[in-house]
Amino acid sequence: MRKIHELSNFIWSIADLLRDAYRLSQYERVLLPLVVLRRFDCVLESTKEAVLASYTQYKGKLNDEVLDSLLNNVSGQRLHNHSPLSFKKMKDDPYNVHLNLISYINGFSKKRPRDL
């Protein structure tokens, strides 16, 4: 029960910080996409190294559509991310979050997540 209370306090403290940076109407435009991206990051974490190795091996040798399909198969999902970045790595480089986030998003499969 104590951990739930601590987690709740932590979440509210983040909400308090965001309240100063964003209007309430902006929360959904900012937070929801970041939550979805973080969820993708967690789901793809276990296959990240294999995807990066395959991307390095086949980039430039296969057309984009075939490479995309291959990397999705390597990830075991209907999407992949071939960026060497992760949320953990971006957090460790706070001065380049904007550029790193753009690079991270551009590393996703061509078809599915880009529509978000």
pLDDT recorded at residue 115 = 52
pLDDT recorded at residue 10 = 79
Give 10-residue mean pLDDT values along the chain (116 residues).
79 72 76 88 98 98 96 96 97 94 94 60
In a domain, 68, yes or no: yes
> Residue 85 sits in which domain range?
25-115
d(CA 105, CA 90): 12
pLDDT recorded at residue 8 = 80
In a domain, 7, yes or no: no
pTM, entire model: 0.77
In a domain, 1, yes or no: no
Domains contained in the chain, number: 1
In a domain, 3, yes or no: no
pLDDT recorded at residue 5 = 82
In a domain, 8, yes or no: no
pLDDT recorded at residue 25 = 77
In a domain, 38, yes or no: yes
